[in-house]
């Protein structure tokens, strides 16, 4: 039986199209209308409210909490300050990625870890002999992502300024609609955004409060289809789509290291030992076999291919999640795993695994496209994965911004 | 003479001039843009005339900004966001309305309510227009060849064009022939019976022209609405976040990123010419800048009759430019509102407020509005195309307040007795009175009103006679005739002097196409 999230009583009546999908056993809205267009533009233009409660969440507490996490994830957890959030993958002994998520230091000795897949056993296995308590708190926390350029203004009203000066990947505590919440400056859209965490009993009050404060800022509930386009534009990897978690891969070839997923920046080889470090050190020395890259599919090339059958380019309006061959000449040198038409950039973009020697930025490769039932190849340039990376995503709020907004009202 | 020399000087910081500058700078050229006003953008500007309320002062929707320009110049990185305008709502005098919504089935049901036959015809019409748009699109993207020239370049151009039309089927060829010759009213009569539908659709054929829906030649522009569907600008009719000025600002930012120098409050008084070629410019304040390439982003009248001494140009060319039709026919009213208009035809606040509202109840209504203009008056009951930008982008007005942008036609540039401040406000009153018939709460909700007539647009924005397209988009002024025969390839009779404004092919609207094609020609020509 599918489960519903603590926000179900609010999102169900809004989901007029009855367009749902499965997310970790929960019902999640794909789109609230027939088309996700409006929800996508809310992420980029105003603000979108997304129910992200199905994430797995773990509480790690005790004198050895920092030690445990530092040993599990690739980043140096000793550098994670109080109320700071780290995005990080974690690996198996061979340095292959098992999952990725966010890690938040709530007190000096307690953390919260989010993940896409269950990780309780892995955490326990690595905690042998440590003074630490690990709890699955997935059902104890409801979560909403508030994403988009107006998100800060909405929180200014809703949380009475508690998040006005919240910096990128930091946490603040506050109150929204009379209920206590934790707010992190995080998200999965590559835009200015926050995630808001509260107890399930407070979920409805939180939803109502945000929708009310958001009304004059054009807030819109958004589903997974809109999120999918935004995350491809932001170049964010998706587990199970862009990579197979190492412990689920039935063959070696399906596994990826952080270096092969463009996550090399999260691997801190010079800190204390962590699971997979030795393998990753060796891989770094010899260089990864694969690179994770963006592909900018040439419009001119698509126009030529489609022009031969008398059509303008026909591109999907939804993001796709299939494996698509990438060629150099006629030799396959990689595969794309996600792609979409970017309504903002007016570009057809994809995220792809490319053999390292073909992955130099600026290289022109070719991506398979099906033109009127026939397989063709369109020119696709290798680019950085962050197709869209606005300053507002991580810029620090000016303390006076909120005050200014009020003054002009 | 200034010490620094430029590869090219662009006169006028309108969106086309900025596009030219950006492409030239991207090619490594040293470029200087000179804009007369304190803001960049020409007719594509956002100004906070009433504090807290942002007006897209003139141009208010982004119609067909070329997607290749968005990609080449990476405009989204420089802040450009074009948000879809989803619907068109036409309130009717009888208390009913006609709406075309973003959702296809919803639109079908709505048209069905008025005429079941039209509901089916609407889809067939859409398909034919789509096919024709596919056929016509390459023409917009090409530099017009000269039909009388025997040069290989021009002949090849016509060969490509011919080959292209041979590919059209019978039905499509006949439809294209009709579109090129008929009036939009007659053409739409062949398809539809709902008056409000025909009127609202035909309005796109008269915007910016000094023609009525029953004037031959207006049908062709119907096609343009379908153009965005096919070139990667899907649903390209939109509103630029931050107002239309953000289009200009993003292009300027891209140009600067490539090293272009842009100066405001630097009006050009004269383009200097020596032995039939340009040598640079002289500013209003006497400053001089030298360059062997000067590009004018201004309209043909200003480009050739104001900036250059007539004796430097061939006499017949000067005559051609003098004859170029550039009558202004429209005005603009911008309002700050304490509340949204409440339409009696569909009370309350709803999705209609996020789209366009069109005051075009019937073909007769539009033609009558034109009749008044023909004889020198502004329309007492004008055609209006309205959007409420604050409903799309909350940042356009303080929370709870709104801005309204009203495009108004007809307002003839040569008003009987001439325009003055009294007549301008009378024109503004006619607009508000007309709207109040459909939304009675509007007059009391107005906090601030800005009225622009062709007279203001000429004087303040530098568009001759306030013509928003730098010259009418009628058939005799398109393609190889724009602005005049022999000079449709962005060159001029003067060596080194180029034109890049909307007065050149394909012209009109915020497309950037003229500016881009001009830059590409310059890079193949004088700056090769």
Residue in A37, A388, A408 nearest the CB of B52: A408
Residue in B68, B81, B399 nearest the CB of A44: B81
pLDDT, residue A372, reads 96
Substitution target in A346, A348, A349, A380 with the highest count of B β-carbons within 10 Å is A346
List chain B residues with CB under 8 Å of A341: 234
Inter-chain residue contact B103 with A343, CB threshold 8 Å: no
- Output the furthest CA–CA distance in chain A (Å, rounded): 69
Substitution target in B232, B238, B355 with the highest count of A β-carbons within 10 Å is B232
Give the list of residues 6+ apart from residue B78 with CB closer than 8 angstroms, or none: B249, B250, B251, B253, B254, B257
Inter-chain residue contact B398 with A343, CB threshold 8 Å: no
Inter-chain residue contact A41 with B71, CB threshold 8 Å: no
Count Cα neighbours of B309 within 13 Å in the Cβ-side half-sphere: 11
* Torsion angles phi and psi, residue A173, rounded to 5: -110, 150
CB B515 within 8 A of CB B16: yes
pLDDT, residue B231, reads 59
Give the list of residues 6+ apart from residue A85 with CB closer than 8 angstroms, or none: A102, A103, A104, A169, A170, A171, A184, A185, A186
Question: How far is B27 from B523, CA to CA, in rounded Å?
Answer: 8
| CA geometry: angle A311, A316, A320, nearest 5 deg | 145
**pLDDT tens for each residue of A286-337:** 999 999 999 999 999 999 999 999 888 999 989 999 999 999 999 999 999 9
Strands (E), B375-445: 383-387, 402-409
Question: How far is B239 from B387, CA to CA, in rounded Å?
Answer: 9
Nearest C-alpha of chain A: how many angstroms from B153?
A: 22
List chain A residues with CB under 8 Å of B393: 45-46
Selection from A128, A113, A99, A24 nearest residue A61 by Cα: A113
Question: How far is A267 from A68, CA to CA, in rounded Å?
Answer: 16
Structure tokens at B43: 């007719």
Q: Where are the alpha helices (DSSP H) in B437-512?
A: 442-445, 454-456
Could you give the 3-state DSSP secondary structure of residue B387? strand
List chain B residues with CB under 8 Å of A44: 81
A217 touches chain B (CB under 8 A): yes
Residue in B76, B134, B230 nearest the CB of A344: B76
Inter-chain residue contact B70 with A34, CB threshold 8 Å: no
Question: Does position A57 have pLDDT exceeding 50, yes or no?
Answer: yes
A293 touches chain B (CB under 8 A): no
Substitution target in A35, A37, A45, A296 with the highest count of B β-carbons within 10 Å is A45
List chain A residues with CB under 8 Å of B351: none
Cis peptide bond upstream of B483, omega within 30:
yes
List chain A residues with CB under 8 Å of B76: 344-345, 388
Inter-chain residue contact A408 with B51, CB threshold 8 Å: yes
List chain A residues with CB under 8 Å of B81: 44-45, 344
Nearest C-alpha of chain B: how many angstroms from A184?
A: 24
* Torsion angles phi and psi, residue B380, rounded to 5: -75, -30
| CA geometry: angle B144, B148, B149, nearest 5 deg | 75
Could you give the 3-state DSSP secondary structure of residue A45? helix
Inter-chain residue contact A45 with B67, CB threshold 8 Å: no
pLDDT, residue A180, reads 98
Question: How far is A181 from A343, CA to CA, in rounded Å?
Answer: 34
Supply the Cα-derived Rg of chain A in whole angstroms: 22
Count CB atoms within 10 A of the CB of residue B294: 31
pLDDT, residue B230, reads 62
Question: How far is A340 from A348, CA to CA, in rounded Å?
Answer: 6
**Dihedral over Cα of B36, B42, B43, B48: its sign:** negative
Inter-chain residue contact A37 with B84, CB threshold 8 Å: yes
Inter-chain residue contact B234 with A341, CB threshold 8 Å: yes
Give the mean model confidence (pLDDT) for residues A3-28. Answer: 95
Residue in B70, B86, B103 nearest the CB of A346: B70
Structure tokens at B298: 């201004």
Count Cα neighbours of B225 within 13 Å in the Cβ-side half-sphere: 19
In the structure, what pLDDT confidence band is assigned to residue A407 with cuts at 50, 70 and 90?
very low
pLDDT, residue B132, reads 86
Rounded to two decimals, the pTM is: 0.90
CB contacts under 8 A, A 7-66 vs B, are 33-35, 37-38, 41, 44-46
Question: How far is A393 from B6, CA to CA, in rounded Å?
Answer: 38
Residue labelled with tokens 């630097």: B266
Question: How far is B420 from B437, CA to CA, in rounded Å?
Answer: 26
Inter-chain residue contact B71 with A346, CB threshold 8 Å: yes
A347 → chain B, closest CA residue: B71
Structure tokens at A261: 């997923």
Question: How far is B276 from B312, CA to CA, in rounded Å?
Answer: 7
Question: How far is B393 from B81, CA to CA, in rounded Å?
Answer: 11
**pLDDT tens for each residue of A67-102:** 999 999 999 999 999 999 999 999 999 999 999 999
Mind giving me the DSSP string for A329-344?
A: TTEEEEEEEEEEEETT
**pLDDT tens for each residue of A353-371:** 999 999 999 999 999 999 9
Give the list of residues 6+ apart from residue B286 with CB closer than 8 angstroms, or none: none
* Torsion angles phi and psi, residue A236, rounded to 5: -95, 130
Measured torsion, CA atoms of residues A306, A310, A316, A320, in degrees rounded to the nearest 10? -40
Tell me, rounded to whole angstroms, the distance of Cα A314 from its chain centroid: 28
Inter-chain residue contact A150 with B394, CB threshold 8 Å: yes
Inter-chain residue contact A312 with B231, CB threshold 8 Å: yes
Which DSSP helix (H) or strand (E) runs through A376? strand A374-383
Nearest C-alpha of chain A: how many angstroms from B46?
A: 17
Tell me, rounded to whole angstroms, the distance of Cα B524 from its chain centroid: 27
Inter-chain residue contact A313 with B83, CB threshold 8 Å: no
The 3-state DSSP composition of chain A as helix, strand, coil percent (nearest 5) reads 30, 35, 40
Give the list of residues 6+ apart from residue B522 with CB closer than 8 angstroms, or none: B8, B20, B24, B293, B295, B490, B498
DSSP B155: H
Structure tokens at B327: 């009558």
- Beta-carbon contacts below 8 Å between A and B: 65
A41 → chain B, closest CA residue: B83
Query: How many residues make up chain B in this entry?
Result: 528
Could you give the 3-state DSSP secondary structure of residue B456? helix
Selection from A277, A238, A228, A289 nearest residue A92 by Cα: A277
Selection from B515, B43, B521 nearest residue B255 by Cα: B515
List chain B residues with CB under 8 Å of A190: none
Inter-chain residue contact A312 with B68, CB threshold 8 Å: no
Which residues face A113 on adjacent strands?
A58, A103
Nearest C-alpha of chain A: how many angstroms from B250?
A: 13
Inter-chain residue contact B232 with A299, CB threshold 8 Å: yes
Mind giving me the DSSP string for A232-251?
A: HHHT---BTTTB--GGG-SS
A198 touches chain B (CB under 8 A): no
Inter-chain residue contact A312 with B400, CB threshold 8 Å: no
List chain B residues with CB under 8 Å of A46: 393-394
Residue in B51, B81, B103 nearest the CB of A45: B81
DSSP A359: -
CB B80 within 8 A of CB B389: no
Question: How far is B9 from B279, CA to CA, in rounded Å?
Answer: 10
Inter-chain residue contact A45 with B241, CB threshold 8 Å: yes
The strands making up A110-115's β-sheet, listed across from edge to edge, are: A85-91, A97-107, A110-115, A56-61, A133-136
List chain A residues with CB under 8 Å of B338: none
ipTM beyond cut 0.90: no
pLDDT per residue, tens digit, chain B (528 aa), is 444 689 999 999 999 999 999 999 999 999 999 999 999 999 999 999 999 999 999 998 887 788 899 999 999 999 999 888 889 999 999 999 999 998 889 999 999 999 999 999 999 998 888 888 888 777 777 788 877 777 877 777 777 777 777 777 788 888 888 988 899 999 999 999 999 999 999 998 888 889 999 999 888 877 776 776 665 555 557 899 999 999 999 999 999 999 999 999 999 999 999 999 999 999 999 999 999 999 999 999 999 999 999 999 999 999 999 999 999 999 999 999 999 999 999 999 999 999 999 999 999 999 999 999 999 999 999 999 999 999 999 999 998 999 999 999 999 999 999 999 999 999 999 999 999 999 999 999 999 999 999 999 999 999 999 999 999 887 788 888 899 988 999 999 999 999 999 999 888 788 899 999 999 999 999 998
Strands (E), A55-170: 56-61, 85-91, 97-107, 110-115, 133-136, 142-147
A345 touches chain B (CB under 8 A): yes
Query: How many residues make up chain A in this entry?
Result: 409
Nearest C-alpha of chain B: how many angstroms from A41?
A: 7
List chain A residues with CB under 8 Å of B70: 345-346
């Amino acid at each position: 039986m599918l489960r519903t999230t603590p926000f179900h009583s609010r999102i169900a009546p809004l989901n007029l199209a009855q367009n749902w999908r499965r997310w970790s056993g929960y019902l999640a809205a794909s789109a609230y209308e027939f088309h996700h267009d409006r929800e996508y533009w809310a992420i980029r233009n105003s603000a979108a409210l997304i129910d992200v409660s199905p994430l797995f969440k773990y509480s790690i507490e005790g004198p050895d909490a920092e030690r445990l996490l530092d040993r599990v994830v690739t980043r140096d957890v000793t550098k994670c300050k109080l109320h700071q959030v780290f995005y990080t993958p974690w690996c198996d002994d061979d340095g292959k990625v098992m999952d990725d998520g966010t890690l938040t230091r709530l007190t000096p000795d307690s953390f919260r870890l989010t993940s896409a897949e269950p990780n309780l056993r892995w955490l326990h296995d690595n905690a042998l002999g440590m003074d630490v308590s690990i709890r699955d708190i997935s059902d104890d926390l409801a979560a909403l992502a508030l994403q988009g350029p107006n998100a800060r203004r909405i929180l200014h009203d809703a949380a009475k300024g508690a998040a006005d000066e919240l910096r990128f990947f930091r946490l603040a505590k506050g109150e929204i609609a009379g209920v206590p919440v934790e707010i992190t400056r995080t998200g999965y859209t590559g835009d200015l955004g926050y995630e808001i965490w509260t107890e399930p009993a407070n979920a409805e009050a939180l939803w109502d409060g945000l929708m009310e404060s958001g009304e004059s800022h054009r807030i819109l509930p958004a589903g997974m289809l809109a999120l999918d386009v935004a995350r491809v534009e932001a170049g964010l990897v998706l587990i199970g789509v862009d990579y197979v978690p190492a412990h689920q891969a039935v063959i070696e070839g399906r596994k990826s290291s952080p270096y092969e997923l463009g996550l090399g920046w999260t691997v801190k080889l010079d800190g204390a030992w962590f699971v997979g470090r030795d393998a990753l050190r060796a891989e770094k020395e010899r260089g990864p076999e694969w690179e994770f890259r963006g592909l900018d599919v040439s419009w001119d090339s698509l126009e030529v291919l489609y022009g031969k059958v008398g059509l303008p380019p026909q591109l999907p309006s939804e993001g796709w999640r299939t494996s698509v061959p990438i060629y150099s000449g006629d030799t396959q040198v990689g595969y794309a795993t996600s792609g979409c038409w970017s309504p903002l950039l007016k570009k057809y973009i994809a995220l792809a695994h490319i053999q390292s020697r073909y992955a130099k930025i600026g290289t022109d490769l070719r991506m398979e496209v099906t033109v009127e039932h026939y397989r063709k190849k369109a020119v696709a340039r290798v680019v950085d994965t962050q197709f869209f990376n606005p300053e507002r995503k991580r810029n620090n709020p000016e303390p006076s911004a909120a005050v200014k907004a009020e003054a002009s009202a | 003479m200034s010490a620094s020399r430029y590869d090219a000087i662009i006169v006028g910081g309108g969106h086309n001039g900025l596009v030219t500058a950006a492409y030239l700078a991207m090619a490594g050229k040293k470029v200087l843009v000179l804009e007369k006003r304190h803001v960049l953008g020409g007719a594509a500007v956002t100004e906070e005339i009433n504090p807290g309320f942002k007006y897209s002062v003139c141009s208010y929707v982004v119609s067909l900004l070329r997607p290749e320009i968005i990609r080449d110049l990476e405009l989204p990185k420089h802040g450009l966001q074009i948000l879809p305008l989803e619907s068109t709502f036409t309130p009717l005098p009888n208390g009913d309305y006609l709406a075309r919504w973003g959702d296809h089935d919803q639109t079908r049901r709505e048209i069905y309510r008025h005429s079941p036959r039209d509901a089916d015809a609407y889809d067939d019409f859409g398909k034919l227009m789509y096919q024709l748009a596919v056929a016509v699109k390459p023409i917009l993207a090409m530099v017009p060849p000269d039909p009388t020239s025997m040069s290989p370049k021009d002949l090849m151009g016509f060969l490509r064009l011919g080959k292209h039309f041979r590919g059209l089927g019978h039905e499509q060829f006949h439809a294209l022939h009709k579109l090129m010759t008929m009036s939009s009213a007659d053409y739409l009569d062949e398809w539809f019976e709902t008056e409000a539908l025909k009127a609202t659709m035909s309005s796109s054929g008269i915007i910016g022209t000094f023609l009525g829906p029953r004037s031959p030649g207006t049908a062709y522009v119907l096609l343009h609405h379908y153009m965005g569907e096919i070139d990667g600008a899907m649903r390209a009719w939109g509103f630029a976040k931050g107002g239309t000025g953000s289009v200009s600002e993003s292009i300027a930012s891209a140009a600067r990123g490539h090293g272009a120098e842009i100066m405001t409050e630097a009006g050009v008084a004269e383009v200097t010419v020596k032995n039939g070629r340009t040598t640079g410019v002289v500013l209003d304040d006497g400053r001089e800048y030298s360059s062997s390439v000067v590009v004018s982003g201004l309209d043909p009248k200003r480009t050739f009759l104001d900036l250059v001494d007539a004796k430097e140009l061939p006499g017949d060319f000067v005559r051609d430019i003098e004859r170029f039709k550039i009558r202004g026919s429209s005005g603009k009213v911008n309002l700050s509102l304490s509340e949204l208009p409440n339409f009696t035809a569909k009370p309350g606040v709803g999705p209609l407020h996020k789209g366009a509202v069109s005051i075009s109840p019937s073909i007769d209504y539009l033609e009558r509005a034109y009749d008044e203009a023909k004889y020198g008056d502004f329309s007492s009951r004008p055609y209006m195309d309205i959007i409420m930008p604050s409903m799309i982008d909350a940042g356009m007005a303080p929370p709870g307040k709104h801005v309204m942008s009203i495009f108004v036609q007809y307002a003839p540039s040569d008003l009987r007795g001439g325009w003055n401040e009294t007549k301008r406000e009378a024109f503004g009153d006619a607009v508000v009175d007309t709207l109040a018939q459909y939304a009675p709460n509007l007059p009391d909700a107005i906090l601030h009103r800005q009225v622009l007539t062709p007279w203001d647009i000429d004087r303040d924005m530098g568009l001759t006679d306030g013509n928003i397209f730098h010259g009418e988009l009628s058939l005799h002024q398109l393609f190889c005739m724009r602005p005049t025969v022999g000079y449709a390839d962005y060159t001029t009779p003067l060596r080194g002097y180029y034109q890049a404004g909307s007065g050149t092919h394909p012209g009109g609207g915020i497309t950037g196409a003229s500016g881009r094609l001009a830059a590409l020609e310059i890079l193949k020509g004088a700056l090769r």
